Amino acid sequence: MSLEATREQRAAREVFASGSDLALVAGAGTGKTSTLMMMAEATSKRGLYMAFNKTTADDAQRRFSRNVECRTAHSLAFAAVGRKYKYRLDAPRLPGRETMRLLGITGNLDAGTDKITMFHQARLVMGMVKRFCHSSATEVMARHMEAINGLEPAEEEQIAQMLLPYAQKAWQDICAPNGRLRFEHDHYMKMWALTQPELPGDFIMLDEAQDTNPVLEEIFLPVFAGSTDIGGADADFIVDGLLLDCKATTTPTRLGGSEIGQLAGYLLLDYDDRYRITQVGLYLPRQGATIAWQVPEFLRLLGTDAPLSELRGRLREYLRRWRHQ
């Protein structure tokens, strides 16, 4: 049965037909998925609808027009990367002692007035890998270690730096077809994301975007040439030269230096000017408001009249020196 489009749905369909990027922001049960279906029916181009789970994807496949393929991110990742690790997915769970041995952990660590046992170290290391796999970072970093009760920040940082080589070794083992450590679904998902895959389809639809984790965002959202210099960074939207960062806060008066600094970081990390950013701004979906600045105005507000290309070059040089210290 054909659905009667509302005024907002007709407007969304028109924007979609123009070929522009589009974000639908609305509450639960207000017709977002139905709007996506109307948009897909308005074109003969091939589309890909991305759902959060298999049940939703299967249901959508029955409802969408034939030009749209409905998939989960994990199904795409498994087809591209995961299938060659399938035998490892079926392997039994490794005992902690065997994980410790494979990592090469051979002694306890002093931590303040306490000690971190070898078993605890192995758990922390595998936790670092897990947090890395759930992040948009491009490499395992010390900051992926979880907090350790009773330690001061400086002590935690020291332990994280000591465990980082083990975490890097663990990730190398996981990525190896003949690796020995336990292999999980999130591992092939992250491996796929790191290839910066080109999704099949002339247009992509992502439903329930609020449930999207940073790994999937890594595939959908703009990634900058300098992202790897800080372990991963991606913006929410770049449309026709406007870089927008979404802040779904109920108290926009609390927005301040950190949000502006994040915008500035995105702007400067686009070293090669790939996105031709001419404006930056904040989008407040709960308030239906956008605050935007032309790039020269934004830089003046930050206290500089230096050319954007010069600022990007200086940041790149600084970050690369810092990474090799």
- Other C-beta atoms closer than 10 Å to the C-beta of 272 total 10
| Across 51-76, average pLDDT | 92
Residue 294: phi, psi to the nearest 5? -65, 145
In this predicted model, which residue has the larger pLDDT, 11 or 123? 123
Range of the domain at 116: 92-182
Q: Are 34 and 3 a contacting pair, CB within 8 Å?
A: yes
Does residue 7 lie in a domain region?
Answer: no
Q: How confident is the model at residue 255 (pLDDT cuts 50, 70, 90)?
A: low
Give dist(CA 44, CA 201) in Å, integer.
11
Q: Do residues 316 and 229 both lie within one domain?
A: yes
Are both 178 and 99 inside the same structural domain? yes
Question: CA 173, CA 175: separation in Å to the nearest integer?
Answer: 5
CA-based torsion, 39, 42, 48, 53: positive or negative: positive
Domain check: are 119 and 177 in the same one? yes
Helix (H) or strand (E) holding 281: strand 279-284
Give the residue-averaged pLDDT of 89-110: 92
- CA pair distance 164, 99, nearest whole angstrom: 16
- Minimal CA–CA distance to 129: which of 118, 117, 116, 139? 139
Amino acid identity of residue 255, one-letter, is L
How many CB atoms neighbour CB 227 within 10 A?
Answer: 21
- Does the structure show a pLDDT above 90 at 319? no
- Region 136-155: mean pLDDT is 88
In this structure, are 240 and 322 located in the same domain? yes
State the pLDDT at residue 83.
94
* Domain shared by 324 and 225, yes or no: yes
Residue 17 lies in a domain: no
Q: What is the pLDDT of residues 232-254, one digit of tens each?
A: 676 777 877 898 887 777 776 66
**Confidence grade of residue 71 (pLDDT, cut at 50, 70, 90):** very high
Most confident stretch, 21-30, 213-222, 263-272: 263-272
User: Does 46 fall in a domain?
Assistant: no
Taking all residues of the chain, what is their mean pLDDT, rounded to a whole number?
87
Same domain, 313 and 230: yes
How would residue 1 be classed by pLDDT, with cut points 50, 70 and 90? very low
Instruction: Identify the domain boundary among 133, 167, 182.
Output: 182
Of 18-22, 125-129, 304-308, the poorest mean pLDDT is in 18-22
CA of residue 307 relative to chain centroid, distance: 30
Angle between helices 153-175 and 118-133 (to 10 degrees): 70
Coil, helix or strand for 273?
coil
Q: Identify whether 171 is part of a domain.
A: yes
Our count of domains for the chain comes to: 2
Structure tokens at 122: 């192995």
DSSP-assigned letter for residue 289: E
User: Is residue 165 included in any domain, yes or no?
Assistant: yes
Q: Judge whether 213 lies within some domain.
A: no
Q: Based on the fold, state whether residues 230 and 177 are members of the same structural domain.
A: no
| pLDDT value of position 300 | 94
Collapse the DSSP code of 243 into the 3-class scheme (helix H, G, I; strand E, B; otherwise coil) and give the result.
Answer: strand
Among the residues of 184-280, which ranges form H helices?
185-194, 214-220, 257-269
Angle at 101 between CA 99 and CA 104, to 5 degrees: 110
Q: Would the pLDDT of 54 be above 80?
A: yes
pLDDT-based confidence at 132, cuts 50/70/90?
very high
Q: Is the pLDDT of residue 268 over 70?
A: yes
* C-alpha 259: how far from chain center: 18
For the beta carbon of residue 135, count every other beta carbon within 10 angstroms.
20
Contact 33, 24 (CB under 8 A): no
Percent of the chain with pLDDT over 70: 91
pLDDT at 120 over 90: yes
The verdict on residue 116 lying in a domain is yes
CB 161 within 8 A of CB 109: no
Domain assignment present for residue 99? The answer is yes
Residues 106 and 161 reside in one and the same domain: yes
Residue 300 CA, chain-centre distance (Å), reads 30
Domain boundary among 128, 155, 182: 182
